[in-house]
Amino acid sequence: MAEELEWKKLPTIEKVEHKVCVFYLPKYGDQQWKARVEGYEEAVKLFSTQPSDKSPVFSDYVGLMKKMVVDNNAIAQEKALFAVLAFAENAAIATRLFGSKVVSIKSILKEIIRLLEDRDGTVRNESKELIIEMYRWAGPAIKPQLSGLKPVQVISKDTNILLVGQSAKIVAQIANALRAGFKPYAVTTIKACFEKFKEKKPTVLVAIRAAADAAQRSVTLESLQEDIIEALNNKNPGIRAETALFLSRIFAKMTIVTLNKKLLKTFVVPLLKCSADMVLEVREAAFCALGTAMFIVTEKNISPFLADIDNIRLNRIKEFYEKVANEKKGGSSDNEGKGAPSSLEAASVAPSKPNFKVIKGNKPAGVAVGEGKTVSVSPGEDAPRPTKPSAAKKKAQPAAPASDALPKEQLWSDDVLEAKIAEAYSETLIAQLASSVWKERLEAMETLRSSIDKMAPEQLSCQLVFRLLLKKPGLKDNNFQKPCSEVIVDLLLPDLTEKVGDIKVGEAVKLAFTALAEATTFEIVGGRILRAVYQQKNPKCQIECLNWLSLSIKEFGLQLNTKELLVCLKTGLGATNLQVRQACIYLSSVMYLYMGGTLRTLLSDEKPALVALLEEEWSKLGDSKPPAPTRGLRYVKQQQSTASDGASAEGAAAAEPEVPDPEDLVPRTDISEKLTEEMMNLLVSKAWKERQEGLNQIQEVLTSAQFIEGGPKLQDPLTAVAKVCTDVNKILGKNALGIVEKFAKALSKSDAKKLVK
């Protein structure tokens, strides 16, 4: 301790020097840094208190500055830097040597460039300031070393939407001014625009489209094909839709020579894939691009690439082809340099909510899965005729599908909608609907409702009213007693399903669901809600949708696709949220009323604990029968009232909905193709082991499919198995009898009577 007090008595300069500490403290080497720390602190005070910047004290420390800044102890080094700073600020001798000749810019610049990508924003900013100061000394000589820096990417990286929009406008102006001179930057710019096509703000989208179109003028379509194809396959539907529209605008400016067969084939394949997309906007954009290409290269040249698509999609492509042709004839050629035809802009907004496919040709309740096929149809298209059911199931089929009685209409573009709103309603009413004062909005709603009540049914447009309410604040459920199309269902359900979990408006939303189901069919509305349940992230929305489905099945009957209903049920039973699982258990009890023990078989592969819960819920039903439908009869009655006076009472009774047979609700699998000729040959083999192998293979096929379709193709396999029942090998005969029994259980009752004799 005495020796430590001795070094504290040393002068400041001796504390700062390394050799002094070692000489005086050989036994306390680990205490050297403490001596230096105290020396540096004293030096700061000493330098700051000198009366003159030319004081002789400064000369004593000049030679120590280099050693101080490289002190091997971090704490001591930090104190040393403060001492050096005080020396530089107060000593005249410190400013004699400075600038790029004293400090090597070249050696520092390498490290500074690395710091420009540091996580700390302060470090990056200080590095930029230092580079600017270096440029003042060295000038353009340092530019080559800065050429490798990454450019500032405002469009593709900035999170501020307004800045992205402004940047896109600037890029568009630069590209338009430079024209061919913008070519080195065009591909990078367009790729960044593709990434930002996911934005939903219309003003930003317009700016990004303009930037992409302006950049494209300086390059050829061949140089962009890889980026375009990648964007068409992007997981974001907004990017897919906008890229297809971008491609259609390029096609509109090309000729049959520039859009050659090789280039056409490259883009037709991904566009056809987009034309079958689940999202309406993507499909419409793909149809738009293909229709524009058809107009440019003629229908004859593009037809070979469209040979494999269905008539519905082909008709939509031809519709856009005719629109482009009409606009060209009407003098729209003056606008070729400004983008695609105006009719193409309707499908350009990226979706942010669950999208619902428009399904036509729906089969009635009671028709087994597989007898009628649902086909995806765009708004405005005629539905294909439903597949005719088998004779065994005619008793469960109404006279005609309810969806055939629905009106057909085209989804209007935004421009057409604005024109129709301006024509139908006054500017005052439209302004009040968008007013920030709720009393004015309420008054406008009451005025609108009053005008709707006074209108004749044939003059009322549901699409106009609903889209006006969607466009302006607020949705209100008004039953106008006016049949509406599936387009209206697709417009309303995305917003309604988001609000069904809201405690304030949830009940009103469920009433709106029911009103839509009565105005169209429960199969249409319920099917779309069924597919959108788990697209909602809010468990409350999922619960309310499942509860509405349970109640509506009792009111409308089990008119939903049983296979989709089972998928929804199994997904919900495995949910992490307890209330979602409970809602699914209640839904299963409603399904059990209609399907009985068949549902138990379909859910037998679930966890034992879950099956026990389901059995407990089903046991509460006892011998209850499914209730008769109390809703969804309006179209049937309307059809009966408009029928001719000579219609028989028997025909009218046939149109009444009946409780479907559980046999018809089960999704069945066609196994006829799996029962190969090799299996049949094994059954007639002389070797008993081969006959046993044939029976085992057939048993595996039956095990993989719980319920199977009947038909003439099963007659031969069943006959071959039946012959083995009388085999001299008793074990094989017993196994064959078990397989015949499985066939009988897997087939419907009507098919089993025909095939298993």
What's the rounded mean pLDDT across residues 113-130? 82
pLDDT of amino acid 89: 83
pLDDT of amino acid 211: 93
Average pLDDT of the chain, as a whole number: 76
**Which residues have a Cβ under 8 Å from the Cβ of 142 and sit 6 or more positions away?**
105, 109, 131, 134, 135
Please write the tens of the pLDDT for every residue from 692-718. 888 888 888 777 676 776 667 777 777
Measured in whole angstroms, how far is the alpha carbon of residue 163 from the centre of its chain?
25
Higher-pLDDT residue of 291 and 709 is 291
pLDDT of amino acid 3: 55
Higher-pLDDT residue of 638 and 316 is 316
pLDDT grade, residue 215 (50/70/90)? very high
pLDDT above 50 (res 398): no
Please write the tens of the pLDDT for every residue from 307-318. 888 888 899 999
pLDDT of amino acid 741: 77
pLDDT above 70 (res 509): yes
pLDDT of amino acid 378: 38
* Strongest mean pLDDT among 339-353, 431-445, 560-574, 668-682: 560-574
SS3 504: coil
pLDDT above 50 (res 644): no
pLDDT grade, residue 751 (50/70/90)? low
Is the Cβ–Cβ distance between 561 and 664 less than 8 Å? no
User: What is the DSSP code string of 152-189?
Assistant: P-HHHH---HHHHHHHHHHHHHHHHHHGGGGHHHHHHH
What's the rounded mean pLDDT across residues 127-141? 82
* Strongest mean pLDDT among 377-381, 450-454, 472-476: 450-454
pLDDT grade, residue 32 (50/70/90)? confident
**CA 296 – CA 278 distance, rounded (Å):** 27
SS3 461: coil
**CA 497 – CA 482 distance, rounded (Å):** 22
Q: Cα angle at 162 between 158 and 168, to 5 degrees?
A: 75
pLDDT above 50 (res 514): yes
Residue with tokens 């979706």: 351
pLDDT of amino acid 140: 81
The pTM of the full predicted model, rounded to 2 decimals, is 0.36
pLDDT above 80 (res 90): yes
Is the Cβ–Cβ distance between 407 and 702 less than 8 Å? no
pLDDT grade, residue 446 (50/70/90)? confident
Question: What is the set of domains in the chain, with CATH numbers?
Answer: 2-95 (no CATH), 105-146 (no CATH), 154-347 (1.25.10.10), 421-619 (1.25.10.10), 677-755 (no CATH)
pLDDT above 50 (res 220): yes
